[in-house]
Chains A and B, each alone.
Chain A
Amino acid sequence: MESNVLLRLPGSFRDPAGSIYISGDRVFRTVSQTAAPQYETAREVLRSLVAQGRLADFEERPVDGFEDAAYLLEHPKISPWTLPYEWSFSLLKEAALFHLDLHLYLLERGFTLSDASAYNVQFIGPRPVFIDHLSIRPYVEGEFWAGHRQFCEQFLNPLLLRAYFDIAANGWYRGELEGIPTAAIAKLLPLRSRLSWRAMTHVILPAYFQQGATSDREVNAALKNRKLPLEGFRGLLRQLFRWIEALRPANISATTWANYASTTTYDPAEAAQKGTFVGEFIAETRPRTVIDLGCNTGDYSSIALERGADTVIGFDFDQQSLDQAFQRAKAGNLNFLPLFLDARNPSPSQGWMQSERLGFSERYSSDAVLALAFEHHLAIAHNVPLDQVVEWIVSLAPTGVIEFVPKSDPTITKMLAFREDIFPNYNEAHFRATLEKRSHTVRQKRISRSGRTLFWYSR
């Protein structure tokens, strides 16, 4: 390992216990001298968590050239690397329950977590995995749960937003980075839910005490000589677990997209043709990873997996489709991770120095891309020039299938029903020409009477 190619991950500056370094495809973590004793104590429990699949694997490596590092750990690279504001309600709920369960497990063995950051959970397919080895440390009798506020803001509050108001938290979460502030949720909660014991415990009272209504004297008085007995600690975790486990989105009547498969403009024979084309594409190109843009509930992602892809990363902006896609992945144990994406505005690089949390194009790429019934949503519904739409899709993978939807198709007729047609060049010939500027067409197939056509490109 050469130190000149080592890159310190910009997001890993908060915890002084260690840092993450990237060298090509390899991931390293330093353990600082001060954190070494707690790491040594936790090593055994860390190993057992790895064996259970709950913690990213680690191997100790010789510490060369890292000042102040007592240990150097190497981890397998996790891909895709997702951020909590790209998770649907289902993914966030899964991560929250996973985090609480992990914490309870650790407390039983005399350990605890030094924080409760949602950014410390990643997904392998639909399965959550913990990635911050150094936030697992010995529990000190009577200590407070330091991560309580962080847990509420990064897990509970965004879930409550959807469960109480049917508001998806993704945009707000992305804007705040650290989750949805408890003070804000406390102002929003309807009276009925305010009076519940759990809302009191995790939202209303913490917000009340936080907002400065409490004087320094009262704070000192309340906290001096104070201990939280282990049973109280576990009680908080269990209460949150039960609460979150029961949360459901407020509105579960199907959205436009969640029943897309049944309301689509295809007849079954046409849908079957599309599936066959995608299946052949996957079987012949043998991609390891596939990005499925506009994955909906995951029909074509499933086909890709059946035909040999290892991993499919799905993207959609419809929350209910994402929730259903996640249920499908979980039930079928598929290596399929459906994530939230508004393609007009993908995750930017942001946070401290604008590099703490990396953007979409820094984190997502694949061997193949599927963009089925997708391009017209950008090109027609949102006026993105067609050649830019094509350029962006082609940039995601060296090969892929793009479905071109012509103006004669009922969905575009509907999109243009109340507006001027400002797309004189939107036609198949122009689409093909823009695609062929960047790649060549391997195969092309018309799959609907309205003229929808699949293009298999390779660049």
Chain B
Amino acid sequence: MTRIVAIVVLISSASVTHAHAYLDPGTGSMILQGIIGAIAVAGATVTLYWHRAKAFVRSVLHKSRPE
């Protein structure tokens, strides 16, 4: 589990968002949501790079295609 947590940390970038809450949300649920957040960010990152990669390949193919 520690490894998952460590991975989570590596992926993170933005600053933590606290909405003023009077309720103690509980560590367990917060960590879980941290992980879900990280997975979502990771997913978005992968998607972004995938799109970039596709765009790159396309541009290369486009260039190499005879006019």
The chain A residues found within 8 Å of chain B, CB to CB, are 14-17, 112, 114-115, 137, 139-150, 152, 182, 201, 205-211, 213-214, 218-219, 221-229, 231-232, 235-236
Contacts and interface: CB of A to CB of B under 8 A. Distances in A.
Of residues B18, B28, B39, which shows the largest number of chain A Cβ atoms within 10 Å of its Cβ?
Answer: B28
B26 A222 contact: no
Contacts of B27: 209-210, 214, 219
B13 A225 contact: yes
A143 B32 contact: no
B46 interface: no
A209 B26 CA distance: 9
A144 B17 contact: yes
B41 A221 contact: no
B33 interface: yes
Given A206-B26, A214-B27, A219-B27, A141 B32 contact: no
B14 to A, nearest CB: 5
Interface residues of B, number: 35
Main SS at interface, chain B: helix
A137 B21 CA distance: 11
Q: Which 4 A-B pairs have the closest CB atoms?
A: A210-B28, A206-B28, A149-B26, A142-B17
Nearest to B17: A142
A199 to B, nearest CB: 12
Interface in B27-51: 27-41, 44
Nearest to B2: A218
B10 to A, nearest CB: 10
Contacts of A222: 5, 8-9, 30-31, 34-35
A114 B22 contact: yes
A195 to B, nearest CB: 16
B42 to A, nearest CB: 11
B30 to A, nearest CB: 6
